[in-house]
Amino acid sequence: MLDNLLKNRNKIYWICQICGWGGFFIFNFLIYMSFDGFHWKRSITFPYFAMVGIAATHILRDIIKKRKWIEKSPKELFYRILFSTILISFILTMVVLAINFSGSIMNMHEFKIAGVFATMFNTGILIFLWSIIYFLVHYFENYKKSEIERLVWEAAVKDFELKTLKSQLNPHFMFNALNSIRALIEENPTRAKTAITQLSNIFRYSLKIERTETVPFEEEIKTVEDYLGLEQVRFEERLKYRIEYLPEVRNIEIPPMMIQTLVENGIKHGLSKLPEGGFINVTAEKENDFLKIEIENSGFVYDDAILKAKGYGISNTKQRLHLLYGDQAKFSIANFNSHVKVKIILPVGGSKL
């Protein structure tokens, strides 16, 4: 594959060289033919000029590649292009003069120093334009390559960050769940069996999310119900919860463990700190092309600095939403009457990035 790519690049290069210098030869030849003093012998200098031009610029290309001019600073590159332009234009002008004198096309009486400088100047513009085009092609090619590498790198970083965030969720949740079951085993064995089944469902779900970025809303809610069922064992009458959602949101894809993490966060930093306990309410509905999820819990939040210091719940959710949806997702948390309300708005139809 690499060999084919190099062959194609070389083929395109030679096509451009031949077409460019060939076009220069034809253009100048046609102009010269329009003059009254047209001389067939003098017109022979044009194909020689084009062939030497191809050879000279090809040698320049090899020097550019071997000396790695592409990696030079703009200032260094400018001086190198300027020097090579003057040198090659001088060589090409000398070739034209040599052909003219050796072929008796021109004699010393017709020689004018001003004509030599004019030829050098015109040739210099041509070589300078060749150099600019060559470096612009490589610049855009390298820019495109670096852009692709950047996108690949960003995708890899996003994938790594998502996996890291998921791995942060599971141990924290499982620890609390196991504590709840341990407290239940001696008091109510039948309920303990139910709790183990619920924990088994959560384990199965956690294994599944390692292989996906999003899950159907209904699957996430089942895990939340299992989690709240386990937590209700620990808090007994102190925990009351309600989950409501319309059938149309069941299959909408959302980030896995997102709702569960926020519910857990509400219990840990809100309800559990209240002697009388409290409630957790989860509601979801579809509005146009967006899914709106609201999670309410008893408690009170102070400021963002405190939220960030209280574990992965809030900051984790913000990071995941940004990685998956960019600016299309909205997240907010605020005190509402005597409780805390978290609102999440997601675009329907999968992740954006």
Within this chain, do residues 173 and 305 fall inside the same structural domain, yes or no?
yes
Contacts of 317 (CB under 8 A, 6+ apart): 258, 261, 262, 331, 344
Q: Does residue 138 fall inside a structural domain? A: no
Within this chain, do residues 251 and 317 fall inside the same structural domain, yes or no?
yes
User: pLDDT tens across 122-164, in order?
Assistant: 788 888 888 888 888 878 877 777 777 766 666 655 665 556 5
User: pLDDT tens across 162-186, in order?
Assistant: 565 555 555 666 776 777 778 778 7
Number of folded domains that form the chain: 2
Which range, 6-10, 22-26, 300-304, 309-313, has the best average confidence (pLDDT)? 22-26
Instruction: Estimate to the nearest angstrom the gap between the alpha carbon of 149 and the chain centroid.
Output: 8
Within this chain, do residues 71 and 179 fall inside the same structural domain, yes or no?
no
Query: In angstroms, what CA-CA distances link 221 with 82, 235, 254, 274, 321?
Result: 69, 20, 11, 25, 18
Contact 56, 131 (CB under 8 A): no
Within this chain, do residues 89 and 207 fall inside the same structural domain, yes or no?
no
Q: Does residue 118 fall inside a structural domain? A: no
Domain of residue 305: give its range.
Answer: 160-347
Residue 180 phi/psi, 5-degree rounding, is -65, -45
Contacts of 346 (CB under 8 A, 6+ apart): 252, 254, 290, 291, 293, 321, 325, 328, 329
Q: Does residue 149 fall inside a structural domain? A: no
Residue 257 phi/psi, 5-degree rounding, is 65, 10
% of the chain exceeding 90 in pLDDT: 14
CATH number at residue 190: 3.30.565.10
User: What's the pTM?
Assistant: 0.54
Q: Does residue 154 fall inside a structural domain? A: no
Within this chain, do residues 6 and 76 fall inside the same structural domain, yes or no?
yes
| Residue 249 CB coordination number (10 Å) | 19
Q: How does residue 2 score in pLDDT terms, banded at 50, 70 and 90?
A: very low
Among residues 80, 111, 142, which one ends one of the domains?
Answer: 111
Among residues 71, 95, 111, which one ends one of the domains?
Answer: 111
